[in-house]
Amino acid sequence: MVGSARNPLLVLVFAFAASGLLVGQSQDQPSPPSQPEATSQPLPERVRVSDGVTAGLLLNKVPPKYPKAARKKHLQGTVIMTAIIDKNGNIVDLTLVSGDPILAKSAMDAVKQWKYRPYLLQGHPVEVETHIQVNFTLAGG
């Protein structure tokens, strides 16, 4: 009879194991989450963005005036600036990185008037730090 009959105690232990009621397990313990919880981290106040990205956001580009002194000297070149663009798309800070001082003043005066679409990070506008390049070339003659 022992070999052919089921042991009721063994069946009971198996049923408890399957239900999680064995020693060391509790029905009150939460099961581990199936996916990690998304933690919302604060957005940065300012991000650094390439000049190619900000060029695509440019709404109003005021061209620089070629300085008379530079024309007279046949001066050509590139002016590079670092710009801070606020959340509304306005240039709020502009610093000369390189370029001839005669050309730089004209370039900076023009760029200060440029207007951009706000840069969005996760759907929220943020300040942008970028480089802006202005090229001065004389037409061949």
pLDDT digits (tens, 9 = 90+) for 40-68: 678 888 999 999 999 999 999 999 999 99
pTM assigned to the model: 0.68
Decide: 115 and 90 in contact? Cβ < 8 Å.
yes
Task: Walk me through the domains of the chain, giving residue ranges and CATH numbers.
Answer: 46-136 (3.30.2420.10)
Q: Please say if the pLDDT value at position 35 is more than 50.
A: no
- Report the DSSP pairing between strands 58-60 and 46-48: unpaired
Q: Please say if the pLDDT value at position 19 is more than 80.
A: no
State the pLDDT at residue 140: 65
